[in-house]
Structure 1
Amino acid sequence: MTGRDGGADIGPIGAFSPVVILVRPQLAENIGTTARAMANGGLFHLRLVAPRDGWPQERAWYASSGADRILDAAQVFDSVDEAVADLHHVMATCPRPRHIVKTVMTARGAAAELRAISSRGLRAGLLFGPERAGLDNEDMARADILIRYPLNPNFMSLNLAQAVLIMAYEWWMACETTPPRTLMTNETHVATKGELENFLDHLTRDLDACGFLRNTQKRPGMVRNLRHLFQRGEVTEQELRTLHGVVTELSNGRKARQKQD
């Protein structure tokens, strides 16, 4: 192909990661955006079954946003049987059940199954149908498992790349270790209990000095409330330094006003 610079580094390409098989894809742009979606989720093996406009097609590379190597290595077959002949398991996306007696899984369940298959050194394929009508009954008859996405029942329309991206995302997340929640602290750190206690001592001293805690009966509860406030979140060391400065400046301003009076 012309007009390409090799694209982004999308490896490593796992020998046993699932193969994405596009059955009779109609538009080159959809093949390109599918490759982009695959690269997002760590799926790098692409097969095309009887693409309507032939292959290769330059527009696919332009639409792939740098996932060139997936398209460079894409294999073309005349039939689904030929495309799945060397695979051990085949799953097919199925937007509409068609009275077929077969196991149906969600994308998440299928991704876990695919990880288990891959860990055993077996190869699996994911069938995606043509943009307009999806897979027909003959295509789905080649699959061991059907995959159905539990989306809004009143609007389940997906384009080809979106359908592939859902599976790619679930494949990636099946082994992703990123915690579901984290606090981004950049160059500072979450304050230790000692640092927090030092600030609370500073704050309490100045509140005593200005008379805010003059009610001796209410003072313990007020101090506890302040403590609960700062204990509730993960205050950073930088934030505490800022608060130290705020308290000091308020104290200095009060002292200056007292001298003027």
Structure 2
Amino acid sequence: MSFNNISFILHQPQLSENIGACARAIKNFKFKNLIVVKPKPFFPNDKILATSVGAKDIIVKAKIHETLEFAVKKVDIIIATSARFRNKNIKHIKLKDLKKIDFNKKIAFLFGSEASGLSNKEISYANYTMLIPTNPDFKSLNLSHSVIIIAQTVATIISLEGSKYSKSKKVTLASKKHVQAMTNLCINKLEEKNFFKPLEKKPIMLENLRSIFSKMELSEKETRILSSVFASLAKKG
């Protein structure tokens, strides 16, 4: 297990103070990787740096992306935090279930914006959804509070429990980059066949398709096989 394998992704954060506080939170527990997707405020700015206090190095080294798809290309498993129930066929885990996750892999925790959280489209990139247990009559948590709770939990698991998993030398889990490339190939071939009908249902169909492949935890070999299948099926005669 390694602290370097863990990333914290802030999707479209709204407030500079929260971004700085999140950087401070992850450094409190020895994590280093902060990823910010399409932040509303200019990044970095003086307010972000000021509220990060001693974690300015986390801000300086943070990776900034315009899209979530690009941000997760090098991740193996995405765990999306959400306070809302999703009518999706995606595995939901509790905070205590994090001890079952293989932290030898590259793990990313995904957090939505303060204003609206994560949409179903963003959830479709995740392998799991997770709800931090709170007062059922007051579920809303500040973004940085959510980050620090998960950071502390994961740090404890890594420090105290150690690895319960051994990497197989025969099976290599496909990275998100490979899964997305395969998914995009599938989507492109389906578009060539005018599969997405009616057009108004295309967005939800794409969400469901991404979600199916995201939660399967495919190996690199399996993504190659499926990519070949999709390419072959699209060929004429």
- Could you tell me the TM-score, scaled by structure 2's length? 0.64
Three-state SS of the structure 1 residue aligned to 2:34 is strand
Three-state SS of the structure 1 residue aligned to 2:21 is helix
Higher radius of gyration, 1 or 2: 1
1:44-63 to structure 2, matched below 5 A, reads 44-63=32-51
Query: Aligned-residue CA RMSD in angstroms?
Result: 1.7
**Distance between the aligned counterparts of 2:156 and 2:21, measured in 1?**
20
Aligned residues: 160
**Distance between the aligned counterparts of 2:123 and 2:61, measured in 1?**
25
Tell me the amino acid that sits aligned with residue 93 of structure 2.
Answer: M
- Is the Cα contact below 8 Å between 1:107 and 1:166 reproduced in 2? no
1:110-146 Cα offsets, whole Å, 9 max, x none, are 2x244x2x32xx2111110000110011000000000
Three-state SS of the structure 2 residue aligned to 1:19 is strand
1:69-148 to structure 2, matched below 5 A, reads 69-110=57-98, 112-114=99-101, 116=102, 118-119=103-104, 122-148=105-131
1:15 to 1, 4, 8: 4
**Distance between the aligned counterparts of 1:127 and 1:70, measured in 2?**
17
Q: Which runs of 5+ in 1 are unaligned?
A: 1-12, 179-261
Three-state SS of the structure 1 residue aligned to 2:87 is coil
**Distance between the aligned counterparts of 2:132 and 2:33, measured in 1?**
22
Distance 1:15 1:37, change over 3 A: closer
**Distance between the aligned counterparts of 2:43 and 2:52, measured in 1?**
15
Structure 2 match to 1:27: 15
**Distance between the aligned counterparts of 1:51 and 1:88, measured in 2?**
23
Structure 2 match to 1:257: none
2:134 to 117, 137, 151: 151
Tell me the amino acid that sits aligned with residue 168 of structure 1.
Answer: A
**Distance between the aligned counterparts of 1:113 and 1:93, measured in 2?**
17
Three-state SS of the structure 1 residue aligned to 2:53 is coil
- Could you tell me the TM-score, scaled by structure 1's length? 0.58
Find out whether 1:41 has 2:29 as its counterpart. Answer: yes
1:163 to 146, 167, 177: 146
**Distance between the aligned counterparts of 1:40 and 1:34, measured in 2?**
10
Distance 1:177 1:87, change over 3 A: closer
1:63-122 Cα offsets, whole Å, 9 max, x none, are 012111111100100110000011111110011012111111122312x244x2x32xx2
1:199-229 Cα offsets, whole Å, 9 max, x none, are xxxxxxxxxxxxxxxxxxxxxxxxxxxxxxx
Structure 2 match to 1:6: none
Tell me: higher relative CO, structure 1 or 2? Use CA pairs within 8 A at least 6 residues apart.
2
**Distance between the aligned counterparts of 1:30 and 1:143, measured in 2?**
23
- Is the Cα contact below 8 Å between 2:25 and 2:144 reproduced in 1? yes
Distance 1:73 1:113, change over 3 A: farther
